[in-house]
Each structure stands twice: as structure tokens, then as C-alpha cells.
Amino acid sequence: MELLGLGRTAEVFLTDDGKALKLFYPEFQDRGPQQEERISRIISDRCPSAPTFFGTTTVDGRIGLLYEHIEGAAVNEASIRPDYTVEDFARQLARLHPEIHRASGVDLPSWESRVGAGIEHFEPMSRDGKAVLLSHVHRNEPFCLCHGDFHPENVILDPHRCLRPIDWVNAYRGHAFSDVAKTTYLIQHGLKQGLDTISEEERPLRDRVSHVYLDEYFDHNPPEEIEWAAWQLTTMILRDQEGIDAEKAAIRKMILNLQSRYPDFK
């Protein structure tokens, strides 16, 4: 088998029959494969652009999950040719995301189950501010399928120039805006493991992708400013609690800026 990549919890191989095999390290055998298998079966049935899931296997005592192998490259690694610009990618990303959100999130982990606890434990916000924030993000409309980690590194540009979203382990049911706010944050501010800053050359590119993506997703008709601020704040609070030290200072600064603009969230 050909090694395709290494991750924190698993190695990924190309099998002899052309499938992608995610083979978990021994220390992650207890819960990781079972949880991801359950999510992968749901996603494979509901999202045509996601990799097809073929089931589980065991190799040398290690549990593995078998997926469709998607040829191509992550968009952040692909050459942006004159016939496929960053604007083309941003628009295509924004058209794919609503397709995901049109699918049902039934039987997936609930976003609401974690957001309440996350906001409650965020000390730089008063009890009243937390109540106002939660009133904006708790909605009664049906919750949809959300990717949970939808950004350029998790989208493959295949040979037909179609975008294929991968790495669905964080999928959940929730409001689409929670997913859009997370994507916007990751495009603008997310750092790869081992990096602690965004280069001056990369910053305008990230800003451009984010701007075009949001314009296209909302069809130039964005939500009210205070509503969007609530989703941004919630995303940053949850991201702050992921423990990514290189992002913490910037997150806290952005939260303070939003609280200054919208004092009800203090």
C-alpha cells in the first residue's frame, strides 16, 4: 500500500484496489474509529460530494476505515491557474456549502449540546452578555447538516474541477450560519499546525477568498450585522476553547472589538 498522509490519529494509505484506507494508531482504537464510522455512514448517504464510505477493515490488529480515493489536490496546495482563480474557488466553495446545508443533520451530534457549555465557561463575558448571545444563536428552525471544519485544506479539487469536501469527523446538526461563521474564521485566521502567524503575502489572499465566499453564499444579502456578530462571537469563543495557543491572542482581541461595537455582548 502507498502511504498518502500522516495525521494525529491515523495514517492514510492507498490500497491496491484504489481505495483510501484511514488506519488508526493503536492508542486511538477505542473510540475514534467507531464514532467516525457512524458519522461517515450518515454523510455518505446524504452528501453526494463527500467521499463514498465503504466500511471498516482490520490490518495488523489496527482498525481502518475505507473511503473513495479522490484524485486531485487540496485547493490550498493546487496551482491556481489563469483559468481557475482564487475568486473562482471562493465562489465554487460558496455554492457547495449550501448544498451541504440542504441535507438533514438528524442523528448527528447536536451543535446546541456544546455551544451552551462553551459560552457559559467563557469568563470575559458577563452573565447578561451570555444570555443575549445565546438568544441570538438558539433558533427554532430545523437544524441541517454542517461540516464543522469546512475550509480550503479540507476540499479537494478533482480532475473534473469539482470540489469534494473531505474530513467529516466534526460533522454535526446545527444552524447553517454556525458552519459559515466557522469557515469564514478558518479562511481568515486559521493557522496550520506548527505555524504561529500569517505571512504578509498570504493575508490579502485570505481576505479576498473570505470576501468573495461570503458575498456568494449570502447572495449579496447578508444577515443583520448584530446577528452575524453573534455567530462570529460564538465561533471565536468555541475556537478559543480548542486550545490553539498561536491563535488565542488574536481571538481575544477580535472578541473585545466585537464587544465594543455591540455592548450587549459584554
Task: Reduce the DSSP state of residue 30 to 3 states and report it.
Answer: coil
Q: Identify whether the C-beta of residue 157 lies closer than 8 Å to the C-beta of residue 72.
A: yes
CA distances, 69 to each of 1, 13, 16, 129, 250 (Å): 13, 10, 11, 46, 37
Q: Is-above-0.85 flag for pTM?
A: yes
Report pLDDT digits (tens) over 71-103: 887 766 545 566 778 899 999 999 999 999 999
What structural domains and CATH numbers belong to the chain? 2-68 (3.30.200.20), 73-265 (3.90.1200.10)
What pLDDT is recorded for position 48? 94
- The string of pLDDT tens digits covering residues 159-217 is 888 999 999 999 999 999 999 999 999 999 999 877 888 989 889 999 999 999 999 99
CB-CB contact of 78 with 72 (8 Å): yes
Q: Which residue has the cell 493546487?
A: 78
The answer to whether the Cα torsion of 73, 79, 85, 86 is positive or negative is positive
Q: What is the mean pLDDT of residues 231-256?
A: 94
Edge-to-edge, what's the strand order for the sheet holding 62-68? 2-6, 10-14, 19-24, 62-68, 53-59
pLDDT one-digit tens code per residue, 98-139: 999 999 999 999 988 788 888 998 989 999 999 999 999 887
